[in-house]
Structure 1
Amino acid sequence: MSGRFPIEDVSPAVSCGRYPARAVVGELVPVSARAYREGHDALGCNVVWLGPDGRARPFTRMRPGEPGQDRWHATIAPDAVGEWIFTVEAFSDPYLTWHNAVTKKIAAGQGAVELANDLADGVRVLTAATKLVPKADRVRLRNAVKALRDTARPLPERVSPALELAELLWEHPVRELVTTGEEYRIWVDRERALFSAWYEFFPRSEGAIPATVDAPARSGTFATATERLPGVAAMGFDVLYLPPIHPIGRVNRKGPNNSLVAGPDDVGSPWAIGAEEGGHDAIHPDLGTPADFRDFVVAAAEHGLEVAMDLALQCAPDHPWVTEHPEWFTTRADGSIGYAENPPKKYQDIYPLNFDNDPDGIRAEMLRVVLHWVGEGVKIFRVDNPHTKPVDFWHWLIWAVKLVDPDVLFLAEAFTRPAMMHGLAKVGFTQSYTYFTWRTSAAQLRGYCEELVAAADYMRPNFWPNTPDILHETLQHGGPPMFKIRAVLAALLSPSWGMYAGYELFEHVARPGAEEYLDNEKYQLRPRDWAGALARGRSLAPFITTLNRVRRDNPALHRLRNLVFHDIDNPALLCWSKRDTATGNTVLVICSFDSHTVQWGNTTLDMPALGLDWHDRFTVHDELTGASYDWGQRNAVRLDPYLQPAHVLTLRRPAAPGPADAGSPGQAGTEPATLTVQDVPADLSGTAPTAPAQKDDARWTS
């Protein structure tokens, strides 16, 4: 810092500015700093910022925050991908100092004689300001100067034109004693870095034919997997994530359910990468050729899907690197190469890489592999277990790739300690898997999301209710309503979310004693009857489609920083909102965590967070049912897990004034809206069990 005034605690600043903060194109990025000065003269602050092209963007004035705290705030909206630089400046504001002093002195009854020096000071400041304001406004300043000098006018008429310039001179201030703070960086990604909907499937399962007594198993291919693209796109997903598509090792290949013995038809785990057909830059021959893969990427793009590839930096025992570069692995005391372990789990079919024996060689090869797939049209990588590799390696690799193509994105699959998870985000990972799966109460998830919002300057969460490795007990035992509940929470709390294929079919049978699927697709082909399940009403696809449509249509859901929680008096319910200040778009959600019983609750909404005054009435439209309600700060809600486990409400317009206790669904003094089961859209009622709530006379009031 150089200059007259202290500038402290600048934000966003990641690790004291060691790493760039993160944003996406068009995102409103909050900038704040603590700045103060001696005495009573006015201080002003502003942000100056440069784009990746080195061109300065418009001067942004900062506004003071809570009185007495000397905290200043502004927002900037970067408009291009790349590295941005911003600096906070503090300055003496002579016009605001003059304005404050003159206003107080006149209010105290002082006259023109006593204010002679102040009037002269005003002439000096406004004369200097004339050069700073737009040409169209300069006549106002000249007239104000003329009035200040006119001793024939009454004092109020002399100062009034100058006092009326406050708004203009806020935007175009006279700045004296300018102090320039330190430079800070913001890396700006494309929009998909923050807002995305992921879907994961195994290409080899799409169109696959399992083994029979008379014939061996037949893998699906990129060509057969292409037939699944319309169904994925129709649900509203925009990122299609593929597990590894490389040759699979034969040495120590795992059989079904992670068994140690594989039969001749067992396909093995795609994460056991490498065989005589090639390694990380090769394609499994059962899936097709490199040309087939390129065709698949093009076909996906035609359906609005961007293909994300798995980057798993590990090897099967018969990977070519094992013989070509034995120094890239860890040799144990008995001379064998150590396989991967996460006690008590053992992965005998995988050799982890050792990044310390030949760091230059291994870095060069990893960069070559990533850029090979970038050249094949892949711009998103889901990185497997990055927390088991050195953090400084990822810092180097990610930014080396971005130097070649700044649009490449990296998702960290790091279910690990908080420090490591956050550290990986700081050094460059675009998105992060999170602990969402294990936050199963309203209080837990609220607290966790508040932690994530606090880290929004560098960490972007991606919420997944399931993965091929993770089938939480809530899904094992919660029934179809829990699948809806977890989808609502994932899709509407986080700007990015994803799900693994089979979620929409309510797959929930776990391997005994484990938090993972029985007959895990990691080790065997698993073709599914998508169309048949949908025709029988045994698919959650229509509900997922609705959620993704709501996400797409509401800009408020495209951001993380705007997440606000509201009080509700039932601990089984969670209430939150998101508001886009640029458009006024506001979404309010109330979701149950109980998949078995009806839950009632009463909200106490933070009205200013919704863009409303405390006593306003307003109309909400439920995007799940099409119903509309008159709401206020306090509203009663009733959520039935089988009919509607959540309200997803968009605010439409202020409602007409009414009684303070009127208008909430189910609230005292209001006739509740009622729907029979037949009235419920198919995407909400398709899989409700034949329980009392499913009878024709069942009613609900929310």
Structure 2
Amino acid sequence: MTGRFPIEDVTPSVSCGRYPAKAVVGELVPVSAVSYREGHHALGVNVVWTGPDGETQPFTRMRPGEPGLDRWHGVIKPDRVGRWTFTVEAFDDPYQTWRNAVTKKIGAGQGVEDLANDLAEGADVLDLAAKIVPQEHEERVRTAAAALRDDHRSLFSRVSPALDLEELLWDNPVRHLVTTTRSYAIWVDRQRALFSSWYEFFPRSEGAEIGPEATPIKHGTFATAAERIPAVAAMGFDVLYLPPIHPIGKINRKGRNNTLVARPEDVGSPWAIGSDEGGHDAIEPKLGTLEDFRAFIRTANAHGLEVAMDLALQAAPDHPWVREHPEWFTTRADGTIAYAENPPKKYQDIYPLNWDNDPIGLREEVLRVVLHWVEQGVKIFRVDNPHTKALNFWQWCIAKVKAVDPDVLFLAEAFTRPAMMNGLGKIGFSQSYTYFTWRTTAWEMREYMEQLKSSIDWMRPNFWPNTPDILHETLQHGGPPMFKIRTVLASMLSPSWGMYSGLELFEHVARPGAEEYIDNEKFELKPRDWAGAERAGRSLAPYITRLNTIRRENPALHWLRNTEFHEIDNAELLCWSKHDPESGNTVLAICSFDSANVQWGNTTLNMPALGMDWHERFDVVDQITGASYEWGQHNAVRIDPYVEPAHVFVVHPRR
């Protein structure tokens, strides 16, 4: 310990300050620390924070939390992208010490004679305070000091002006014996790093046509895919994610449903990147040209969508890297290059990279590729399997990219061990895929959300009900109500969520014995009749549109830190709320996990979490159905999954 007063357990601090904590512009970031002192003198604690350009912000006074624990709490609100820093300071507060003593002594019946020294000492403290407070308050403080010294006044009239300065001198304290912690860092991203709605589609399937026996007779292009953009925007999405758009390997190309032998008309997996037509900095010729891609981005931007690009660091056997830099791969005992394996799965069409043979050369090439696409207008990268690459590379690469453009964001597609997923968040990934898909009961989801909430300083979740690789059995067998349930949970629990195209058409047929779609779009074109499905009433698109509209209209849903769970006496139901103190907006949601049966439940709401006292009544308006009710702490709910599997209420206090 250094300094006059102990300051311990400072938060946010990621791995003892080894990595910057995370926040976004406009986020209310809680700062806390444990600090205490000897004796009965008052201790003050505050946060001093510094912006990306080195300018110090007005310090934020911290307030004590639960009595007896000596934990102090404050909130800061960064307003720009970049690296912020903060320190916590503890100090002797002579005004608070004086005020506490005087009020106790007067309460004990002591008079002017007993308080002569206290009155004189208080006046001296106010002389110091007069030099600190804003100029418009200086005269008020000097007048209070003069009153303390005026022995012609009554005790009440002498001390009252000084006691009334409590709020002013809380915000502008006299500080003695200031003790300062080390500096802690917070990287602040733009708001889309925390709040976003993603939609994934394969450009090659949009505008494609299929002949007999699924034989491609027309391949989609960026131009035909752009025709789908208005519909995606109309559903309320703000990020359009594209699987790899690079040339696809021809050697060991996979056929339909991951078969080892491809027919001449098979299009292959976009993740088998590279051929004689180019590598990671090239465009698949069947999709169009680089200018066509830039035009696609411009069209998306015009509709309020950002284009997220897949960054898959692996190569097909005929990728130019294999020929030009064989040292970037692993050579086996027989002299062949090792292809990717995840036993029992084999990926003969993909060579993984080796990050140890030439780490400097490889990382410089990847950085060049990423910055190439940044120059084309890509500001978001969905990174494929980042947990299979060296973490020190990612830490270096992300920092280098953000030094060029701090608005660039990275989503980690890593369904792996918790330590690795958390580690990727700590070293710089802006968002992370999660275990959401496999949390299928109310208690599992509540427990998992509590874990994610406690990790928000380094790992921001993005919830996906489905991906091209993942079709969970709940969607395979749960029917349309389960599709609604999973989209409500994803979009209302997490500030960021995403879906793979086909979810809105209730696609649910899996490859036998697998947790993925049959006739998988990773290996073939899959044109869909979007308009026909909507005309026939077989589309979830209107429901998804409503959910995204609710998200945009309610600031409480833009954050994760504010998620609070409430008790409900039915294990099939989950009840939670989000309250935004700045806007006063509060959303209260109840969702069933049962897609087949009607469920009843009785709530016991944590009223302060809703911004109200325990006894208050309030109105709730269901944002899905429009129904309204009068509620209080205890309420009965009935959920029929075939009508609506969830309530999403906006709370209106009666005041």
- TM-score range normalised by the length of the shorter chain: over 0.9
Q: Give runs of aligned pairs for residues 101-140 of structure 1, distance below 5 A.
A: 101-140=101-140
Residues 386, 412 of structure 2: 8 Å contact kept:
yes
Distance in 2 between residues matched to 1:216 and 1:108, nearest whole Å:
92
Moved over 6 A (4+): none
Cross-structure match for 2:492: 492
Once the two structures are aligned, what percentage of the paired residues are identical?
A: 74
Counterpart contact for 1:483–1:503, Cα < 8 Å: yes
Q: How does 1:572-591 map to 2 (within 5 A)?
A: 572-591=572-591
Q: Which residue of 2 aligns with 1:319?
A: 319
- Per the alignment, residue 266 of structure 2 pairs with 266
Q: CA deviation at 1:216?
A: 4.9
Aligned to 2:625: 625
Residue aligning to 1:82: 82
Deviation (angstroms), 1:436: 0.2
Q: Which residue of 2 aligns with 1:387?
A: 387
Distance in 2, Cα, partners of 1:378 & 1:597 = 45
Aligned residue runs from structure 1 range 19-418, under 5 A:
19-212=19-212, 216-418=216-418
Query: Which residue number in structure 2 is paired with residue 601 of structure 1?
Result: 601
Q: Which amino acid aligns with 1:558?
A: H
Q: Is the 8 A contact 1:355 1:389 kept in 2?
A: yes
Is 2:434 aligned against 1:434? Answer: yes
Per-residue CA shift, 1:602-646, capped at 9, x if unaligned? Answer: 000000000000010000010001111100001000001010100
CA distance in 2: counterparts of 1:369 and 1:603, whole angstroms:
53
Residues 110-160 of structure 1 deviation map (CA, whole Å, 9 limit, x = unaligned)? 111111111111011001000111122122212211111111212121111
Deviates more, 1:610-619 or 1:140-149: 140-149
- Tell me, in whole angstroms, the C-alpha distance in 1 between the residues paired with 2:30 and 2:345: 44
Please state how far the C-alpha of 1:212 moved relative to its aligned partner.
Answer: 3.5
Q: Distance in 2 between matches of 1:348 and 1:645?
A: 44
Contact 2:215 2:265 in 1 (8 A): no
Q: TM-score, normalised by structure 2?
A: 0.99
TM superposition shift of 1:548: 0.1
Corresponding position of 1:679: none
Offset from partner CA, 1:636-674 (integer Å, 9 cap, x none): 00001010100000012317xxxxxxxxxxxxxxxxxxx
Contact 1:211 1:265 in 2 (8 A): no
CA contact (8 A) 1:432 1:461 kept: yes
Relative to 1, partners in 2 of residues 1:160 and 1:202: Cα closer, same or farther, differing over 3 Å? same
C-alpha separation between the residues in 2 aligned to 1:553 and 1:503?
24
The residue type equivalent to 2:580 in the other structure is: D
SS at match of 2:212: coil
CA contact (8 A) 1:339 1:351 kept: yes
Q: For the residues of structure 2 that align with 1:565 and 1:348, how far apart are their CA atoms?
A: 47
Q: Distance in 2 between matches of 1:639 and 1:234?
A: 28
Cα separation, 2, equivalents of 1:257 and 1:602: 47
CA contact (8 A) 1:207 1:219 kept: yes
SS in 2 for 1:217: strand
Q: Distance in 2 between matches of 1:57 and 1:642?
A: 53
| Structure 2 letter corresponding to 1:340 | A
Q: State the distance in 1 between where 2:170 and 2:18 align.
A: 33
- Normalised TM-score (structure 1): 0.93
CA contact (8 A) 1:592 1:645 kept: yes
Q: State how far apart, in whole Å, the 2-side matches of 1:17 and 1:214 are.
A: 55
Residue of structure 1 in register with 2:547 after alignment? 547
Shift in Å, 1:211:
3.5
- What corresponds to 2:5 in structure 1? 5
Name 1:642's counterpart in structure 2. 642
How many Å apart are 1:38 and its aligned residue?
0.7
Write the distance in 1 (CA, Å) between the matches of 2:23 and 2:200: 25
Q: Residue type of the partner of 2:523?
A: Y
* Number of residue pairs matched by the alignment: 655
Deviations 1:427-446 (A, max 9, x none): 00000000000000000000
Report the CA distance between 1:2 and its aligned residue.
4.8
**Separation of aligned partners in 1, 2:644 and 2:503:** 18
Query: 1:133 and 1:426 mapped to 2: Cα distance?
Result: 40
Q: How does 1:648-659 map to 2 (within 5 A)?
A: 648-654=648-654
Is contact 2:24–2:189 with CA below 8 Å preserved after alignment?
A: yes
Q: Does 1:472 align with 2:477?
A: no
Distance in 1 between residues matched to 2:98 and 2:653, nearest whole Å: 42
- Secondary structure of the residue aligned to 1:590 is strand
C-alpha distance in structure 2 between counterparts of 1:353 and 1:37, whole Å: 55
CA deviation vs aligned residue, 1:82-136 (integer Å, no higher than 9, x gap): 0001000000000000000000011111111111111111011001000111122
- Tell me the equivalent position of 1:682: none
CA contact (8 A) 1:605 1:634 kept: yes
Q: Quick check: 2:216–2:525 contact (8 Å CA) kept in 1?
A: no
Q: How far apart are the structure 2 equivalents of 1:523 and 1:440?
A: 29
Q: 1:500 and 1:596 mapped to 2: Cα distance? A: 24
Whole-angstrom distance in 2 between the partners of 1:78 and 1:62? 17
Conserved? CA contact 1:468–1:517, under 8 Å: yes
Task: Judge conservation of contact 2:19–2:427 (CA < 8 Å) in 1.
Answer: yes
Distance in 1 (CA, whole Å) between partners of 2:119 and 2:217 is 93
Aligned CA distance change for structure 1 residues 23 and 215 (closer, same or farther; 3 Å): closer
Give, in whole Å, the separation in 1 of the partners of 2:81 and 2:647.
Answer: 36
Q: Cα deviation per residue 1:358-381 (whole Å; 9 max; x = unaligned)?
A: 001001000000000000000000
| 1:215 CA drift (Å) | 7.5
Letter in 2 for 1:224: T
Answer whether contact 1:92 1:178 (CA < 8 A) is retained: yes
**AA in 1 matched with 2:23:** A
**In terms of mean alpha carbon deviation, does 159-168 or 140-149 score higher?**
140-149
Distance in 2, matches of 1:77 and 1:2, equals: 28
Task: Note the residue ranges of structure 1 that are not aligned, 5 or more in a row.
Answer: 656-702
Q: Secondary structure at the match of 1:230?
A: helix
| Alpha-carbon offset, residue 398 of structure 1 | 0.5
CA shift for structure 1 position 217: 2.6
CA distance in 2, matches of 1:361, 1:159: 73
Distance 1:256 1:216, change over 3 A: closer
- Tell me: CA distance 1:79–1:475, structure 2 relative to 1, closer, same or farther (3 Å): same
5+ long unaligned stretches in structure 2: none
Aligned counterpart, 2:460: 460
Is the Cα–Cα contact under 8 Å of residues 274 and 319 in structure 2 kept in the other structure? yes
8 Å CA contact 2:618–2:652 kept in 1: the answer is yes
* Contact 2:207–2:220 (CA under 8 A) maintained in structure 1: yes
Distance 2:448 2:280 in 1: 36
Shift in Å at residue 190 of structure 1? 0.3
Q: What is the aligned partner in structure 2 of residue 694 from structure 1?
A: none
Shift of 1:214: 12
Distance 2:411 2:208 in 1: 28
Q: Work out the CA distance in 1 between the residues paired with 2:331 and 2:30.
A: 50
Q: 1:213 to 1:543 in 2, by over 3 A?
A: closer
1:475–1:607 Cα change, 3 Å: same
CA distance in 2, matches of 1:394, 1:213: 43
CA contact (8 A) 2:624 2:647 kept: yes
